[in-house]
Structures are given as structure tokens and as C-alpha cells.
A and B are shown apart, each in its own frame.
Chain A
Amino acid sequence: MKITLNWLKQYVELDWTPEEMTERLTMLGLEVEGVVKLGGAFEGVVVAQVITRDRHPNADKLSVCRVNDGKGERQIVCGAQNFQPGDKVPLILPGASLPPKPGDKEPFTIKVGKIRGVESHGMMCAAEELGLDPEALGLKKEDGLLILKPDAIVGQAFGEYLGRGGSDVVFDLEVTPNRPDLNSVIGIAREVAAITGHPLQLPPLVSSDAGEGDTAADLVSVQLDAADLGPRYTARVIRGVKIGPSPDWLRNTLEKVGLRSINNVVDVTNFVMLETGQPLHAFDYHLVAKGANGRPTVIVRRASDGESFVTLDGKQHTLGSEHLLIADSEKGIALAGVMGGRNTEINDRTVDVLLESAYFSPTNIRRTSKTLGIRTDSSYRFERGADVGMTDWASRRAAHLIQETAGGRLAKGAVDAYPAPTLPKQITLRHAKVSELLGVTLTPDQIEVSLGSLGFRVAQRKPRAVDDATPPEPVTFTVPSYRVDMKREVDLIEEVARLYGVDRIPSTPPRHAKGSHPFDDRYDELMQVRRWLTGLGLNEAQGQTLVSKSTIRGLDPAMVVGLANPLSSDMDALRPSLLPGLMDILRHNLRHRNGDVALFEIGRVFRREGGSVREGRSLAIALTGARQPAFWAGAERDAKLELSDLKGLIEEFFEHAGLRGVGFVRREEPSDLFVESATVAIGGKLALGQLGWVHAQVAKSYDVRDAVLLAEFDLDQILTRRNAGRAFKPLPAFPSARRDVAMVVSESVTHEAVLQAVRQAKAGDLEAVELFDVFRGGSVPDGQKSVAYAFTYRGADRTLTDAEVTASHGKVVEQLKKQVGATLRE
């Protein structure tokens, strides 16, 4: 909503600077989003009166004058001859500029200076100097100064004198959707009046029964066929108007707030809409068809299905019964509350005007505006809720202005179809509740004065004895019809808070209850996991939740949760896994030449399972590029990340998380995503996730060249199964003995198989087994590998003898030979 300061001042006295105004309105809840200062025409030029005129001591053709500029007297040296004391003339003050003359580029700025030895404090102007044609202003054309009419007001801004408006300030206000009454200059003036205490000055309008000759009812009928959607319709007729350009004040006002001037009658309807918040429409009276009673009849009805209608802007619309139409007996003439029809619009030949002021149901206007894709200043106001009590008032205001700007005669009275008037709303307030909610003590008087200044009238008070000392409550207020947002007690309390000023409510330090929620601990666990993973050298990523269905691999499409109204096919599903998102992130990084990426993400994933959608928390890891940060020496400096790096990272993480019994099982066949991968489960049953090495082709499709390693786990499961408990185990008191075994086994023998064999050997005092070398090629036959293990033996209560260690170790070696077909290397 845009308003100007000068416009607002017509309804309420105020002396705020634009800055103060911004602050005050903002703190009232009317946020000022923009302020534009308009210089106005003829800035620095005022109407002045010549008091004396004397000859210049040093020049025959010049005179030295004393001139009243409205604030005081100035000495002006002047070269013109056509004036005498008492004449009123335009005076430009020092510092102001005249428009550049033809041929000049720079405007001419007036300074205090000496002319032939005498100081001059400004310049009296000729018409040409101001770029004006005196005759167009109704003044005499003559050589020398522009002599103004004797009734000109000394000191008035010259632009204002010309009716071109002086400087002004345009405010762009953000009106919250609950306050449609503030989409009007009067509505804003009412708020200003409430906080300044100055009275609201309403503009002139015709009385309800003003007019002459025929009554409105003689000239037009109104028929409400859909009173649920259009409960009130007021019609007035003004005959004999002269359609033409609007007067300057009207055109200027509209243009300052961004509306285009069309003609005097249409401009008045727009002006009154901005002034009062009530949208109006003017029809060419003679283009509205006569009904059975011989009078033009306005019918407010639902459109028929498939009914075609052309709006003012020339666009054709196909309507349905959900649209409300203003019609005559033959055709639609306006799309109710949204836009008029082309067939009845005001045009150059219009003589008689039918003026509509009506109330329409907000919901219906919103739907119409949305389904037809038309948004107008009118639909904007109706869909937020117009003031049903304002309908006739606005019509009377418009009738006054149409007569003033376009002439014509008003037919007597109005047709005001309003069969079921809305009763004023009443709300009861307990004074104590105000203080209770706001945390500041207000007296009943303060509260009632605040509400009274906003138009809430006390309707009823609980009767009580004269000597009753209890607070005078509750009290019932009548809500003014323009306050459609008022529903219950707390709404009144908010009004009190607004006028009192939130900044005046003292802050109280936090007190009272301590909160609790089951998620509170989970939050800490999630942060802990994040810190572990960053400790492992991974950066945290936060990817998009919305992904493209086309990037989802290896999942039954029925499990994908799609969007019903995606913005694009790039984001048409909720991620069922974090992996596609991480792949996108890898691609982004590689395109920006960040070839070494180690990331994790913790986020929600969504799957349709058994008819419902499961929202789970997932943890994913993505690695590619160099294993270590760059360094300038060393054999391993160029090492790239490989599957073992990923697995090591996961092992470390699981160990911190206290997960036990985690097994990794290799997938025999490549999957859609991985060329080599494994599933991870606890106890061989409870699935935790997977890890793998991405197919070269998939990687290539993401522009990745190095090996890409990915893992993803069900984080909810991990956190549920984590074991945060820690118990101290005494540090070993006796020395250990180490025995190494190097053996050749078949490729099919896994580390896990070796461990199983070792466990089966049930060797006493075996403390630890460690794989320390794997070797292929050389003397080792194809299909086999050489593996080397270190075995640590330690007694809990004594130092083991060599013989004891040898005996235990012998069992292990035997079992390895037997169970995994190990051939010992010497």
C-alpha cells in the first residue's frame, strides 16, 4: 500500500518528519518498506510580495526591492520594469535552481551575490525563466516578471500555488493480511489519529439522500441473486457528466502512488478506493440493458457454466458457477470485485454514469482471482475483506468527487440492496487479562482510552454497586465494521499492546519451568556423531532433500516418495537415500577442481513402506581423491583413497559408537551403483547399511575420475544399538609374547575365516590377532595369497613360559592348516 504524506495530512494533523513517520508507523505494525521523497515542481520558488521598489544607486535599469517571502523580508536586485510595490511574484530563493534554458546543460543555481555593488538574496522570476506559459495559467502575458493574481498567498510554495503540488513523500507500507482496513489512506489516518490524539478529519461527501430530480430507484434496479457471495450492492446514478482528463491534484495523487490516470470518472473511483479501501466501479449507464421493468437492472448472480466474458483489458474468460458476475438482463457487465467488462466501460461518449459500490465474499473473490489469473487493486482488497459498513459511504464520497471533477447531476439517493445487514460484532474484555498477558500493569481507563481511540465503543458494562471496589469488568466493546480481524478478547489485548508500545513493555528474565523432550538426548547424540566424523577428517555436507527421480538407483519405484506439485523434474522426489545428493556434491566439487573430497552427511531419507511413508535418519560418507593432504615428500604422498580407507574410517566410527557384532558381507555381484561392495549388519541379521566402490561408468556420468567410495547407514539403528557405557579394564600387569605366522591360503579365504579358525583353536592366553601383511605374486601361485598374522599371548596372572606360548600357538597353527588349508611359509 502506497500513500503520500500530503495525502495523509488531509485527514489527520501531523507534524512528523518522514523519518519519524517511518518509525511510528513501523512500531504500530505498519512496516514501512520504502520511502521516496519527491522534490516537487518549482522547489525553492515561493509566492512573494514586493514591498518597496527603489532605483539601484549604480545602475539606471536596475531596481533594489524589499520583498516579503512569507517568512521575512529580503533585498532583491531586479532588472524588470513591469511591476510595482504590492505585486505578487514568484521568487526563487538562494540555493534553488531554475530549469536549464534551451541550449544550456546545467540548471542555473541562484546564489546570494552583489549586482553592481548591491546584495541580492534571490531572484524574482519571469514566466519564461520558470518554463511557463502565462496564458495557460490564466495570467497576462507581458515583458518582465510573472505577475500573480492578487489572491495568491504570500509564502506558499509556488508549485502548490499552481496546483502542481509541492514536495511530498511516498511511503510504501507492508499491510499484514489481517488488516484490510489499512489498505486505505483513511484507515492509516485513523491509526495515526489514535496515537497522536488528533481528530480524524473525514472528507466531504454528499448526504445519503442528496441529488435532484429522479431518484436512483427510478433509474436503476438491483437484484441480488447470490446474496451469499454478494450481500450488499449500492448503486448511484450521475447524469450529464463530461468525461475528460482529471484535474492536476487528482492525476498527481494517483501517479505518485503508482496508478495511471485514465479519465476523471475512473480516476475518482480509483482515488476513493485508495482513500477508503472500498473498490468502486463506474459503468456507462446507457450500455446497461433495461430489464422487464423498463429500467436498467443490475443483477448480481453466479455465472453460468461456460459463460464467456470479456474484461476491460480485452481478455476473454470462460466462467463457471463458482464465479460471481455483475450482469444486466442480457449479459455480464463486470466480473464482481475483480474487473469491469469491456461492454459497459466509461468512454469518451459517456454522459450518464452508474456507480457501483458493493461488498463481495472474500473467499469467492480470492478463488476467482486465482483461477482466472487476474489480480487487481480491487480483488486484492475484496479478498482480504472489505468493510461492509463502508459501501454507501464510499459511494457518497465518489458521487461528490465525480460532480466536482466531471460535473453532472446526481440522481436523488441511492439503491442500496442490503437485505440482511451484518450486526456489529461485540467482544468482552476483562481488564485483568490485559496486564496478565502483556506483563505490564494498565488501568481500566488506559485500556478503554486506547481502544476508544481506535473506534471501539463500550457497549455494555457489568452492572455494579456504586461502592463496589472491584475492577469495572468485564466490559463489552462494539467492534467497528472495518475491523474484520477482531474475533476474541486477545485481539483487543493486542490493540492495547500496539498503542501502548511493545518497546515500553519491560523484558523479564527467563523463569519458570525447565523443558524436557525425548529428542533432547538424541540431539546430543547426533552432534556427537558429527564431531567424531569431523575428527576423522570428513567435512559435513547438507544436501538438498528434493532430488530427481531419475538419479535414484536400485530402489523399487513404488518406494520413492514423489511430490504432487514439483517445481521441476530436477526436484520431483524426496530423497530415499543420501547417496545421489552426495554424488551431485562430488560433481560440483570436481567441476570446480576440488578433486579431493571427503564428506559426510546426516539427514532424513524418505521411503514408502507398506503403505505409509517412513522418515528415517541416514548417515552417508563419500570419498574420492587423495588419501592425505598434499605434502612435498614421501613415497605415499600420491596415494589415492581406496575401499580400505573407507572401511577403516567406518570401523573407527563404529568403535566410538560402541557398536558390537558388526559384520561386513561382500556382495558377490556388482550392484547398480557399485562395482565392489558389501552390506553391513549387526549379528548377521540387523541391516545397518552398505559401503562400496562406485562403478566407473556411474562415476564418469558424474564427471568423477578417481575411485569414488560411498557408504550409507541407517543412523537411527546405529544410535539405538550404540553402547555408550564404558567399563575400565585393568592395564596388563605381565609381559606378552608374540608369535608370527606367514602362510599361503586360497584367495577365497577371508580374514574373517582366518579369525574363525583361530577362535576354534581355543588357544589359551591368546590376547590379540593382527593381520600385518598381505602379498600376492612372486612365488605365490595365482589364486592364492600370502598373509601374515601376529599373535599376542599374555597370561592374566603371571608371565607365560616359552613352552606355554609354544603349546598354545601350536594349536592355532594346526587349526589354520586344517580349517583354511594354510601352507606355512618359513
Chain B
Amino acid sequence: MAALLDEIEPLKQSALGALQSAADLPALEQAKGAFLGAEGQFTALMKRLGTLAKEERPAAGKAINAAKVEIEAALAACREALELRASAPKVPTDFTAPGRRRSLGHLHPLTQVTDDIVRAFRRLGFAVADGPEIEDEVHCFDALNTPKDHPARDAQDTFYVGRGEPAGAAASTGAVGGTLLRTHTSSVQIRVMEKMPPPIRIIVPGRVYRRDNADATHNPTFHQVEGLYVDRGVTVGDLKGTVEFVFRELMGSDTRIRFRPHYFSYTEPSFEIDFSNALVKKLGKDWLEIAGCGMVHPQVFENVGYDPEVWSGWAFGFGIERIAMIRYGINDIRLFYENDVRFLRQF
């Protein structure tokens, strides 16, 4: 009896040692078989239990069971550790190597700048408005108080739309004369005021056209934003307040704004707006011209049937490309229209 009891502890120790020294799962299984398998040493020890005297059996059985539980726990622990090791990658991952990408597209920089402008204005209660790009002289010039013989109306500067190809329905309409591509978004001012009664608070982003050959600073197509606010008792002070707010939103809180008297046929008084901030200083300049604005000319109000004695308002407009070029340091306007993917991906 004593001999069997004495054998339990060394055998357990040697089983634990064998399990723990197993380098992988097959070795562990082999070790398990060597002790707990049908022919295993520990199984053999248990079989010998029956040879003991009846009164000795409970104590020996208890001791053997305790050892077995201990071995099985060790086995489970070793198995878990080895399984964990087996499931790990065989080779280390190179975290510096490029991952497998999914591409997300980029919004065109002009879209992004336009949206920033729209967002700034909307915070002030402006609604986005829209109008046709093919316009007539009334909305593009006449109603905006542009003199009949103003150079802007020249075929030199403005694209006129053809009367349509010969024959067919188009030719029969006749009165297409004076149909043009709008030269500014200001035409939408007129369209909106014709349709809606005051007060008006709109912003109009859109494409405009001038008959310029493309170069680093010109493209026959470009974008403008127009703002129009009509209400009772609107003053130059209101115009300044809004412009300053919007440009600080757009160009940073260090932006300074300056108004210079200027001339536009549809505003009176008229101003040009210059701005200055760290970017401008970097360009070696004190001020950069950025927009034109003014108080809506009473003649314009009369043209759309608003009473200038009751209503006053301001309008301002600026080029989106110019803002984008300043903001991102883009030096050639044509890049916007080439849509080189290496360009688009930068924004």
C-alpha cells in the first residue's frame, strides 16, 4: 500500500513535467497518452488500485483522483497555451507595409469651397437659390441697370447662344436673339425678386461664362457666389457685418476686411472688398481683392417692382475659384477643369 501511495506524487510530477515540456499540440497529445492513455503510466497506477486491501482503497483512490484532476487541469492549460500559439501567424506582420485600401472618392475642391461658403451663409439664415445659365439680356444686363452700350454686353466679352441649327422647330421660334450665357450670378437676383416678394435672403452659387481665352487666371467657365438681402431698413453696416462674418468663417478668424468705394451699375453705393490675413502676407501683399458689393440700386428695385422707398438691401458676389486658389495655394485655374486625379485626390 505504502509503495503505491508513494508512487503517486513522483508520477504526477513527471506527468506535469512532460506536459509542460511539450513543444506543440501533437507532443502534448503524446505526453497525455503516455500518462493518461489506455497504456499510460497513470492509468496503470489506477488499475493497481484494485490490488489494494479494501480499507486502503478510499485513501489511495482519493489521492490518485486528486493527482489526476491536477494533471488534467495542467493538460487543459497547456493545450490552451499551445493552441493559442498555433493560431498565431507563422510570420510576423509587417505593419509598415501598405494595407489593402478601399478608395473613398474626393469632392471637387470647388464643390468643397462652395459648400463651405453655403454653410457660412446658412448660419445667418440664407437660403440657397438657383437660376438658369442660359439667360436673356433683360435678366443679365437690363434689369441690373447696365447701360445699353456697356462693354460687358459686347460679343467680345459675352457668349451668345446661336439661334439653333437650320430648319426644324428651333428656327421657327425666332425670338432667340439676345440669348446669352450669364456673365454673373447677379442675374438670379432679378429672377428671384421677380418671383418672390421681399424680404429676400438668398445665396446663389453657380457657373458663369466670360469670353476669355483660357490661361492661368482665366477660364471661359467659372463659378461665382452671389448674396442678396432685401428687407426694411437694411444699411451699409449690415452689409459690412455679414461680409466680415462670412469671410472670417471662410478664411480664418485672423482675416481683416476692407471696403473700398467702387462702381457697379446695379449697386449704389458700391464697394470692392479686400481681405488680409496670414496667407495674404505670405504672398507679400497687404490686401487682396476678393469681392464686389453694394447697396441694391433703387433702379434695380424699380425694375422688379419693389418700392425703393420701403425696401433696401445689399448684394455681393465673388469668384469661387479665386477663394479656392488662395485657400489651397493653387496657381493655375485650369487645374480645376482638367480633373487630373492626382489633383482631385489632394482635397
Which positions in B face A, CB cutoff 8 Å? Answer: 97-98, 100-108, 110-111, 115, 118, 124-130, 132-134, 149, 154-155, 159-165, 167-170, 172-173, 179, 181, 192, 196, 199-203, 207, 209, 211, 213, 219-221, 229, 231-238, 240-242, 244-245, 258-263, 268-272, 295, 297-299, 312, 336-342, 344-345
In the complex, chain B residues whose CB is within 8 Å of the CB of A589: 339-341
B263 x A29 contact (CB < 8 A): yes
In the complex, chain A residues whose CB is within 8 Å of the CB of B105: 533-540, 598, 600
Nearest B residue to A515 by beta-carbon distance? B201
Partner of A494, one of B172, B173, B268: B268
Partner of B236, one of A28, A438, A543: A438
B344 x A541 contact (CB < 8 A): yes
In the complex, chain A residues whose CB is within 8 Å of the CB of B154: 370
A558 x B207 contact (CB < 8 A): no
B211 x A565 contact (CB < 8 A): yes
In the complex, chain B residues whose CB is within 8 Å of the CB of A534: 104-107
A503 x B259 contact (CB < 8 A): yes
In the complex, chain B residues whose CB is within 8 Å of the CB of A515: 125-127, 199-203, 229
Of A127-135, A505-513, A651-659, the one with at least 4 CB within 8 A of chain B: A505-513
Q: A490-B297, A509-B241, A604-B133 are in contact. Are A502 and B263 (CB under 8 A)?
A: no
Interface check A366, CB cutoff 8 A = yes
Interface residue tally on A, bucketed by range: 35 or more
Nearest A residue to B272 by beta-carbon distance? A31
Interface check A610, CB cutoff 8 A = yes
B344 x A539 contact (CB < 8 A): yes
Partner of B102, one of A503, A537, A598, A611: A537
Given contacts A509-B245, A534-B107, A540-B344, 19 further A-B contacts (CB under 8 A): A29-B260, A438-B236, A494-B270, A497-B261, A508-B238, A512-B229, A515-B203, A539-B344, A540-B106, A542-B108, A542-B111, A561-B164, A563-B160, A563-B162, A565-B160, A567-B211, A599-B344, A604-B207, A610-B169
A594 x B149 contact (CB < 8 A): no
A517 x B103 contact (CB < 8 A): no
Q: Which of A179, A536, A543, A561 is the most central at the interface, judged by chain B CB atoms within 10 Å of its CB?
A: A561
Q: A502-B261, A507-B237, A558-B167 are in contact. Are A513 and B201 (CB under 8 A)?
A: yes
The CA-CA distance from A513 to B201 in the complex, in Å, is 7
A632 x B129 contact (CB < 8 A): no
Interface check A629, CB cutoff 8 A = yes
The CA-CA distance from A363 to B259 in the complex, in Å, is 31
Nearest A residue to B132 by beta-carbon distance? A615
The CA-CA distance from A557 to B172 in the complex, in Å, is 16
Q: A26-B260, A598-B105 are in contact. Are A437 and B169 (CB under 8 A)?
A: no
A510 x B336 contact (CB < 8 A): no
The CA-CA distance from A632 to B99 in the complex, in Å, is 9
A597 x B107 contact (CB < 8 A): no
In the complex, chain B residues whose CB is within 8 Å of the CB of A541: 108, 339, 344
Partner of B164, one of A523, A558, A566: A558
A594 x B342 contact (CB < 8 A): yes
In the complex, chain A residues whose CB is within 8 Å of the CB of B209: 545-546
A497 x B269 contact (CB < 8 A): yes
What 9 pairs between A and B have smallest CB-CB spacing?
A: A439-B235, A515-B201, A439-B237, A29-B261, A534-B105, A494-B269, A176-B263, A513-B199, A562-B162
A606 x B134 contact (CB < 8 A): yes
Q: List 11 A-B contacts (CB under 8 A).
A: A436-B312, A503-B259, A511-B238, A512-B199, A515-B126, A517-B196, A539-B345, A544-B221, A545-B221, A565-B211, A594-B342
Q: A26-B260, A545-B221 are in contact. Are A562 and B127 (CB under 8 A)?
A: no
Nearest B residue to A370 by beta-carbon distance? B154
B125 x A514 contact (CB < 8 A): yes
A565-603 residues with Cβ-Cβ distance < 8 A to B are: 565-567, 571, 574, 585, 588-589, 592, 594, 596-600
Interface check A409, CB cutoff 8 A = no
Interface check A772, CB cutoff 8 A = no
The CA-CA distance from A437 to B294 in the complex, in Å, is 11
Q: How far is the CB of A233 from chain B (nearest CB, A)?
A: 23
In the complex, chain A residues whose CB is within 8 Å of the CB of B167: 558
B237 x A440 contact (CB < 8 A): yes
B231 x A513 contact (CB < 8 A): yes
A543 x B237 contact (CB < 8 A): no
Chain B binding surface, main DSSP class = mixed
Q: How far is the CB of B42 from chain A (nearest CB, A)?
A: 45
Interface check A66, CB cutoff 8 A = no
Q: A440-B237, A510-B125, A599-B339 are in contact. Are A561 and B261 (CB under 8 A)?
A: no
Q: How far is the CB of B84 from chain A (nearest CB, A)?
A: 26
The CA-CA distance from A370 to B261 in the complex, in Å, is 29
Q: How far is the CB of A560 from chain B (nearest CB, A)?
A: 7
In the complex, chain B residues whose CB is within 8 Å of the CB of A539: 105-106, 108, 339, 341, 344-345
A1-37 residues with Cβ-Cβ distance < 8 A to B are: 26-29, 31
B172 x A611 contact (CB < 8 A): yes
Q: How far is the CB of A321 from chain B (nearest CB, A)?
A: 18
Interface check A811, CB cutoff 8 A = no
Interface check A101, CB cutoff 8 A = no
Interface check A810, CB cutoff 8 A = no
Partner of B240, one of A507, A608, A615: A507
In the complex, chain A residues whose CB is within 8 Å of the CB of B202: 515, 517
Partner of B165, one of A440, A536, A558, A567: A558
In the complex, chain A residues whose CB is within 8 Å of the CB of B244: 507
The CA-CA distance from A560 to B149 in the complex, in Å, is 30
The CA-CA distance from A493 to B221 in the complex, in Å, is 36
In the complex, chain A residues whose CB is within 8 Å of the CB of B345: 539
Q: How far is the CB of B277 from chain A (nearest CB, A)?
A: 17
The CA-CA distance from A558 to B115 in the complex, in Å, is 36
The CA-CA distance from A414 to B29 in the complex, in Å, is 129
Nearest A residue to B201 by beta-carbon distance? A515
The CA-CA distance from A632 to B98 in the complex, in Å, is 8
